[in-house]
Amino acid sequence: MGWKIDENVPKEYKRCVLIGAPHTSNWDLFYAIFLFKILKIPYKFTIKKEWFRFPFNLIIRPLGGLPIDTKNKKKGGNVDIMTDLFKGNDEFAMGITPEGTRSLRTKWKSGFYYLAKDNNLPICFGYLDYRTKTAGIGGPIYTSENKDFDMRKIMAFYKTKTPKNPDKFSLDIRYI
């Protein structure tokens, strides 16, 4: 299909919170899964629980999907679920799309950041660049006591990536 993998990946990719961005198409998931398989990354990815209805559940769960209740406003709810997956797994990447949707969103969800911070995990930057047809993993960063500083680093990385549907992607405007 003309895609190439940037094999310059950080060693931390084997145990990290892995951002998946830009996320503007359902095709992004399948290309990302190919990347995970080729790099032999043990992974799970979050996806809204509505995708776990028949017949999609027969595909999504075996591919590594973890249902997330996007309406769960309980403090720590989804982050706690994801934290449990890291326990006892020396090699494990949790793929999260902080945009939360394939629609335009100007503020990213921050659960990925707190998952990394609370569990002392690196954040790596999974990406699909449709302009260059390159898939890869950048980073990592470790969270600091300055979330604004950390998020600005993340936005700087993704600023150079081209999504499949550019009109549906935005960096988090609070950090650019």
d(CA 123, CA 139): 7
Q: Could you read off the pLDDT of 148-166 as tens digits, one per residue? A: 999 999 999 999 999 999 9
Q: Could you read off the pLDDT of 107-135 as tens digits, one per residue? A: 998 889 999 998 999 999 999 999 999 99
Q: Could you read off the pLDDT of 81-91 as tens digits, one per residue? A: 777 777 777 88
| 35 three-class SS | helix
Taking all residues of the chain, what is their mean pLDDT, rounded to a whole number? Answer: 88
* 1: Cβ contacts below 8 Å, ≥ 6 apart: none
Is the pLDDT assigned to residue 12 strictly greater than 70? yes
DSSP 8-state secondary structure symbol assigned to residue 93 = E
pTM of the full predicted structure? 0.85
- DSSP letters, 97-134, are -TT-SSS--SS---HHHHHHHHTT--EEEEEEETTTTE
Alpha helices in 1-104 (DSSP H): 27-38, 57-60, 77-86
Q: Could you read off the pLDDT of 29-62 as tens digits, one per residue? A: 888 888 888 888 888 777 778 888 899 889 888 8
